[in-house]
Amino acid sequence: MKAPVRVAVTGAAGQIGYSLLFRIAAGEMFGKDQPVILQLLEITPALEVLEGVVMELEDCAFPLLAGVTTSDQAKIAFRDAHFILLIGAKPRGPGMERRDLLEANAAIFSQQGKAIDAMASRSVRVLVVGNPANTNALIVQRNAPTIAPRRFTAMTRLDHNRALAQLASKTGARVNELRQMIIWGNHSSTQYPDISQATVKGRRANGLVDRQWLTQDFIPTVQQRGAAIIRARGQSSAASAANAIIDHMRSWILGTPEDDWVSMAILSDGSYGIAEGLFFSFPCRCSAGNYQVVEGLEIDEFSRTRMLATEQELAEERGAIKHLLP
Ligand code: NAX
């Protein structure tokens, strides 16, 4: 049996946590031969609820679950962690301005970044899910200067999966017959879901759908999907978010297929003219625990305009918390 990997999860008593932890413990993230130790972080008032979740984890008698710890201290939860899933965040309250939300989360993610720097395994892999995810990832990464920047990512895989599902439904194909979808930019309504490279059963997707569907249906549907789910369910996406977390980590660790790629928000190195130092979603290929931006794709005017809009929003978010960055 392999040695267990340590997986820290924040916001573990929340909705996404409840959909996610059982799947990790069942071996869906790291494989059916990889034991895991879960190191769960919550704020103090949620520790009691978290204890209930831990009791349920125990009651599943998962053979791969080698241990569970709980804490309200990031430095304890992140100790020696190989993987850290930052899900807990401050939600937007009534009357709260976007800037207030950014600042409130900046405080949380600065402290968690410092705790990662001090306590996590040097080869840790971090995924930020809590919103605003891209800018929170920037704050975490900047507060963890001794860990390689490539080890920090933010999640746009749910958007990627939503885009695949919409295109599959429109073209009457199965999701696994689609390749090369892209989400560019921010995990927000300015994101740009791009089908210009996508194929459906080996044929260019662009030739199968018309421009009107693309601009008036597909792009806004993917951009607004989170809001549509809140309207219908009264709560934000949780099971699909947990599923996307599993997909993101599996792709990162186990790799992407030769003929496909995934969308991940990573620290821009200037690829495609995107400003360096922003966490921006790019098409990425993964292998052996590493990722690379897919280079050399042709970007037309239609795409460029939309990429610039989401880049602009990310630059503004960074501007709003700049004074809090180390
Ligand atoms: P919930 O409100 O159900 O759970 C969040 C949990 O985080 C709560 O239990 C809370 O006590 C805890 N928490 C708050 N501050 C914390 C801190 N400083 N340390 C540790 N725990 C803390 O939210 P849930 O539906 O689980 O969503 C979690 C986050 O994911 C939200 O920020 C949400 O906006 C974001 N999402 C991001 C997505 C993405 O694709 N990047 C999609 C899904 C989701 O909307």
Give the start-to-end residue ranges of the domains of the chain.
5-154, 157-320
What is the residue-averaged pLDDT of the chain? 96
State the pLDDT at residue 155: 98
For the domain covering 5-154, report its CATH number. Answer: 3.40.50.720
Q: Which is nearest to 175 in space by CA: 194, 198, 206?
A: 198
Phi, psi of 282 (to 5 degrees): -125, 160
- Domain 157-320 falls under CATH 3.90.110.10: yes
| pLDDT confidence of residue 88 | 97
Give the pLDDT confidence score for residue 304 in this predicted structure: 98
Whether ligand 1 lies within 6 angstroms of the CB of 35 is answered as: no
Paired with 142 in beta bridges are: none
- Token pair, residue 188, equals 């927000």
Identify the pLDDT of residue 285: 98
Q: Is the CB of 129 under 6 A from ligand 1?
A: yes
Ligand 1 site, residue 130, Cβ cutoff 6 A: yes
Q: Using 50 as the pLDDT threshold, list the residues of the chain that sit under it.
A: none
How many angstroms separate the alpha carbon of residue 130 from the centre of ligand 1?
A: 5
pLDDT (0 to 100) of residue 101: 86
Condensed to tens digits (0 to 9), the pLDDT of residues 77-101 reads 999 999 999 999 998 777 777 788 8
Q: Could you tell me which of 189, 219, 192 has the C-alpha nearest to residue 307? A: 192
252: which 2 tokens?
């990162």
Q: What separation in Å is there between the alpha carbon of 316 and the centre of ligand 1?
A: 23
CA distances to 18, 227, 230, 235, 264 from 192, rounded to whole Å, are 29, 16, 21, 24, 13
ipTM: 0.99
Reading the block at residue 110, the tokens are 């600065």
pLDDT at 94: 76
175 to 168, 169, 284: CA distances (angstroms): 5, 8, 19
Provide the whole-model pTM: 0.98
CA–centroid distance, residue 13 to ligand 1 (Å): 9
What pLDDT shows up at residue 96? 76
**Residue 249 Rama label (left phi>0; alpha psi -120 to 50; beta):** alpha
